[in-house]
Structure 1
């Protein structure tokens, strides 16, 4: 894809912001050295961000006998950002200041009977109002709301194109949200959101080639190439969960058979548990409760749980081995709630299976790890989309 001057400027600005957020306060000279941008480009970008009220001058540092260097930092109290993680079983809303520091969070449950568009929109709006009230933040300070939706999303049109677990098709989500929320709304999907979070704040900082494996009810792989998100032609790159793992295997929500998601998504793991022990007491009707019970039983060493996670890790390892061979990434991060619940046991077994199925040379250069971000990575990534969107020049 040809990059325009607008794309390059946005990428440069994001790189600069990532560094300022991590290292504040910093000088323009330090920013130029750290980002590889020219001092003139850095000065131009810093000037723009100072004018927008995103950065602030915070004093000077000595410069080995030369003129003191001016320092800049994020103007944390200059605004607020909201990130929303909409999953099949919950809506998680987080409020951040401009330095992406968490101010408040709220969560609202979803279920199989509460997933119509108007219901989901109502829960999102309720969560946004809750975090603003809890933090005592004036709505006028909000730069925007980033909303991560499961499935396929059209960012520009604000559409939920296809959410297979809810059977949504072409839902005008941004339009529906705008009826209840008077903020700019930036729509994307969790693969993009969690990958941005890792690039800005997590295991992928400083890396160019990255894969973030999102393990929840849905499954996918967020991809960054040369330090930037790889979106594909229609913003649907990363649907690795709907690649075939087992020929003529289990039915998947997408309509195909044998998909990765049908084996390593939460419902797939529950089906594996059912195969291991059809009468298991861990087989709760609610998938979140079932995975929680599985994790607790795993910690106690219960045989059915150990075998279920062992099989799941093997399925996951084969599929991740394909990613290693195909993309040759520097780091693969396991993210989202299923990975967090099953933790090191899943990671260890998966690494063993990857070693059996990936080619030695690409695997030698790939780190595989759990997401290190303490807060919700999808909400954090969605909030960065709101920051990027607020700083983007008008297309008019």
Structure 2
């Protein structure tokens, strides 16, 4: 037997608060008069919601503008001081932790390097990563003089597939870094010195990058996009609703060459075996190139690009580096074509530290190959470009995870669900039910 369900008055109030907060956040400052048509709410509803939000310190006045033939209109904006978020990027070369106010102004940051040598399982040791996150959170809070009770939450972007379970929260399946069903949220809660009331939001790093670019970067204004993240490896995120989180794709493990190079995931012929920074440098070395000795991946990739595309006129390009990069451009073009054919996005956006370096050099070549490999109609409707938020976009996107939840709750923090007694019939028949 099912009871009829519907939205309650409380649901409607929360939705109205969410509409006003989001509109002020993305398009403000705005006056009460502007908020009506922008949100679709009546003037009375706008006044009531704004009064609540101002009283709670979530919204504040931000000057005024002249109105046609009337009194100046007071402008409103979301108050930067009404909350704090932490964004964490568990990258493959370092762990970055940033503290933001509600308008994403950076208040403090710390970078903690991961080992650049040794077996992959030890370089990405779970205890080491968790220690970096723990110490980084403590440091940014201390640097900014912020107490943990000010936090709306901690967002974390990680490599791999993230499964959300009722018992262990976020569980990370990071095959390329040796993480096999790591109960990352449970370990963080046990290790990091934060109150139990501070929520963790853990998701794939390409997904957090995609949300950041859609909200504030090169994806703004698009109805759909695929954001690709190039670092040591390769990942992607497809977004079909600009205001909602996208879906992470293990695009780097798409097969582009049957029985091809061995990928670090263990399979053969993956795109990541040809296009990730780690694979690019390995292929250059195998072809006779000479990456700088003992250099980290970012420095080595810069050296490869400089050798292939020398800045000084008259300098002969490194033929080996240039050949490897041109082959990589074709592999990437084929991979982009698969994204175009499968998802038909308005835009493909390239991000990540390696993606921004590579894209600045040969994105036009990659786009040309993508057009050749993709179906003509969707390819003609897809533009390819670089992300605009820089290599820190994963951290910004991670901080958006608790912010998005905060807005969805109408600007209210998570509430403890009160316990309710079981129905009378359930108690009466408990002894008769067979386990």
2:274 aligned with 1:263, yes or no? yes
Q: For residue 31 of structure 2, what is the aligned residue in structure 1?
A: 27
- The DSSP-based 3-state class of the residue aligned with 2:384 is strand
- Residue-by-residue CA offset, 1:103-137 (whole Å, 9 max, x unaligned): 22211111243322111110011122222233333
Matches within 5 A, 1:215-234: 215-229=230-244
1:76 to 60, 75, 80: 80
Looking at structure 2, the residues matched to 63 and 214 of structure 1 have their Cα atoms a distance apart, in angstroms, of 46
TM-score normalised according to structure 1 size: 0.86
1:144, 1:390 within 8 Å by CA — same for their partners in 2? no
2:87, 2:98 within 8 Å by CA — same for their partners in 1? yes
Matches within 5 A, 1:40-55: 46=50, 49-50=53-54, 52-55=56-59
2:207 to 183, 186, 192: 192
Deviation, structure 1 residue 215? 0.9
- The DSSP-based 3-state class of the residue aligned with 2:395 is helix
Structure 1 or 2, whichever has the larger Rg, is 2
2:160 aligned with 1:151, yes or no? yes
Q: For residue 201 of structure 1, what is the aligned residue in structure 2?
A: 216
2:85, 2:99 within 8 Å by CA — same for their partners in 1? yes
1:193, 1:381 within 8 Å by CA — same for their partners in 2? yes
- Residue-by-residue CA offset, 1:222-250 (whole Å, 9 max, x unaligned): 11113255656xxxx41221221111112
Deviation, structure 1 residue 336? 0.7
Going from structure 1 to structure 2, the CA distance change for 1:369 and 1:30 (only over 3 Å counts) comes to farther
Deviation, structure 1 residue 187? 1.0
- Unpaired runs of 5+ residues, structure 2, are 1-5, 311-316, 418-435
1:148, 1:190 within 8 Å by CA — same for their partners in 2? yes
2:210, 2:246 within 8 Å by CA — same for their partners in 1? no
2:319 to 300, 303, 308: 303
Deviation, structure 1 residue 68? 4.8
1:353 to 369, 390, 393: 369
2:304 aligned with 1:294, yes or no? yes
2:108 aligned with 1:104, yes or no? yes
State the superposition RMSD in angstroms: 3.0
- Residue-by-residue CA offset, 1:9-57 (whole Å, 9 max, x unaligned): 99987776555344432124434545x6445676676566545533223
Going from structure 1 to structure 2, the CA distance change for 1:230 and 1:180 (only over 3 Å counts) comes to closer
Looking at structure 2, the residues matched to 131 and 264 of structure 1 have their Cα atoms a distance apart, in angstroms, of 34
Looking at structure 1, the residues matched to 126 and 11 of structure 2 have their Cα atoms a distance apart, in angstroms, of 32
Going from structure 1 to structure 2, the CA distance change for 1:354 and 1:72 (only over 3 Å counts) comes to same
Going from structure 1 to structure 2, the CA distance change for 1:208 and 1:44 (only over 3 Å counts) comes to farther
Looking at structure 1, the residues matched to 14 and 98 of structure 2 have their Cα atoms a distance apart, in angstroms, of 24
Deviation, structure 1 residue 372? 0.7
